[in-house]
Chains A and B, each alone.
Chain A
């Protein structure tokens, strides 16, 4: 937990933004990253995403504020993060990736930093723009998303010591793995419910007869 408050770790997250290749190498091989910091970044990302959706000026925002629930969004973002890490880990384990689960979690979490910054800047900027200048707002958001995607790509590449082509293939496979995990979990939940309801009906039957 001390890592959370260490200034050095936080500074390193920003160093990763400016020097992704070097920084991800050091995260893998010299332990410069931190999983708690990565998770905090994910939470921050989810919050800035929700804040952007709720309070970006209505000139650029076509969402009903009532349709946004920050809490559900937080949980779904965390769930997707977990799924991505586990999915990527299970694929790269089979494909000679060098990264540990810890490294993948850090790589994915740190990659969200540009989006956190750009979403908040965009939200503030949207209060200022008119309809004609809306393009600048969308540019800020698009820049953040693109930067984050590139960072995530570099992170996965460096952590596993892959080539670019192999990284793209593994990321594609990761999404398939995520789908399979979701499928299996749903199947499992369904079976458990059926077993539960079976025993519950036996219980009810007994209760009514005795």
Chain B
């Protein structure tokens, strides 16, 4: 009997173990790889930073399905606003995206009922006002979050706008002073800025047209007729827009060269974004040249996630790229497909607390991604560095290294900490692993000085002894020679 019991216990243990192993494998079976690019611009697969964590659709919250929704926005109070474009309505979801708060499909404008026509963009300002880019009605509607009418911004008037400019707003965002930034269709000059009164003040953040010398040369050769038939050199349009707490505007754009797909615009409209070591903010560094997925990443939206971290959504390959304030690539995840956690037509990205949510226009769902331990450690470490708390960040970086010992940012962070602490030799080891040339050089110079200071005493002693010995030796030889000579003479 005892034997049977023991056998049963063994079986149970084995079953539990296999189950445990099975779960481990399951955790690794994500529909996408999480990766980053190394210093040598090779792909390095890393542990997952974010994992799919369910989704929300119109049906799942208790209303009709979304029809090609184009934008979503997280309000300061945590509610999620979805621009349900084809259904001509704004749907407000609870912070956990399981409950329906309200549906705004019209508003009462000075006594007469008014509706939306293909609302493309939505934004809730810091002062808790709802801005809707009512595209086909060619206006921005400002409402209270409850859906009561406040004002309308439309028909921008200015001499810098070309004759017959058709104002079709697509994306909208609002800063702390209630200035309204609008991305409009065919507005190649940049982002349209409106004062809080609704007056158009001008374009903002124009992307310069890049003409190569070669193209200039050909244009010089071409006749007027030929030139008129050539393509116009038009700057790329902005695709997505977000604003940080300081009022700096993050705007994504499609860069055909894959060098810079996002801009950080200061209040004067100048790009002040920081680029990393490789001067690239264009998404994937290794891209195919032919086939369906050829060419560089196409960013369709950007979200500022706080503490200098921002994420970009690539619609071409359905990937999410996250950079820190200094332009370092933190992690890349996501993919196109039909599995849970993959996209078909990703259009908008937002951050809710620790989660990243992505809106898929084709399926009309919001996909949720929650951060893993690895992702959280990186986010925290980068955030602590942003706050200037490098010593606190060390523990986080060490945690990152335990999960991925090739993480260059972690090695760099730890190396810098050792450098500050004065342990130059250990700092050199980490900084070399991080390929951080600048700080490695500083560590090496300090270590070299240390070595020299240590060895200069003994070195001089040795040199002194050698000189004295040499002098003595010479004297002895001379004496001997003199003696011999003397002997000869004598």
Contact = CB atoms under 8 A, between A and B. Distances in A.
A201 interface: no
Secondary structure at the B interface, as helix, strand, loop or mixed, is helix
Interface in B266-295: none
Given A64-B40, A130-B442, A130-B444, 8 more contacts: A58-B437, A58-B440, A59-B437, A59-B440, A59-B441, A59-B444, A67-B40, A131-B437
Contacts of A131: 437-438, 441
A58 B432 contact: yes
Interface in A38-89: 58-59, 64, 66-67
21 contacts: A58-B432, A58-B435, A58-B437, A58-B440, A59-B437, A59-B440, A59-B441, A59-B444, A64-B40, A66-B40, A67-B40, A128-B448, A130-B441, A130-B442, A130-B444, A130-B445, A130-B448, A131-B437, A131-B438, A131-B441, A132-B441
Secondary structure at the A interface, as helix, strand, loop or mixed, is loop
Interface string B286-313: 0000000000000000000000000000
B425 to A, nearest CB: 15
A162 B38 CA distance: 53
Nearest to A64: B40
Nearest to A67: B40
B241 to A, nearest CB: 37
Interface of B: 40, 432, 435, 437-438, 440-442, 444-445, 448
Interface in A115-158: 128, 130-132
A66 B39 CA distance: 13
Q: Which of B435, B441, B442, B444 has the most CB of A within 10 A?
A: B441
A64 B38 CA distance: 11
A132 B444 CA distance: 12
A67 B435 CA distance: 16
A129 to B, nearest CB: 9
Nearest to A57: B444
- For the complex of A and B, the 9 pairs showing the least CB-CB separation, nearest first, are A131-B441, A130-B445, A130-B441, A64-B40, A59-B441, A130-B444, A59-B437, A131-B438, A131-B437
Contacts of A67: 40
A66 B437 CA distance: 18
Nearest to A128: B448
Contacts of B440: 58-59
Contacts of B435: 58
Interface in A10-63: 58-59
A64 to B, nearest CB: 5
A132 to B, nearest CB: 8
Q: Which of B40, B435, B442, B448 has the most CB of A within 10 A?
A: B40
Contacts of A128: 448
A192 B174 CA distance: 70
A67 B437 CA distance: 19
A37 B397 CA distance: 55
A43 B330 CA distance: 44
B231 to A, nearest CB: 36
A128 B451 CA distance: 12
A132 B448 CA distance: 14
A59 B447 CA distance: 15
A97 B240 CA distance: 69
Q: Which of B437, B438, B442 has the most CB of A within 10 A?
A: B437
Contacts of B445: 130
Nearest to A65: B40
A174 B276 CA distance: 44
Contacts of A64: 40
A42 to B, nearest CB: 30
A17 to B, nearest CB: 32
A197 B121 CA distance: 63
Contacts of A58: 432, 435, 437, 440
A52 B432 CA distance: 18
B279 to A, nearest CB: 14
Contacts of A59: 437, 440-441, 444
Contacts of B442: 130
A137 B78 CA distance: 58
A145 to B, nearest CB: 23
Contacts of B444: 59, 130
Contacts of A132: 441
B76 to A, nearest CB: 46
A140 to B, nearest CB: 18
A58 B432 CA distance: 8
Nearest to B445: A130
A58 B429 CA distance: 12
Nearest to A60: B437
B411 to A, nearest CB: 14
A113 B444 CA distance: 32
Contacts of B441: 59, 130-132
A59 to B, nearest CB: 5
Contacts of B432: 58
Nearest to A62: B437
A132 B440 CA distance: 12
Contacts of B40: 64, 66-67
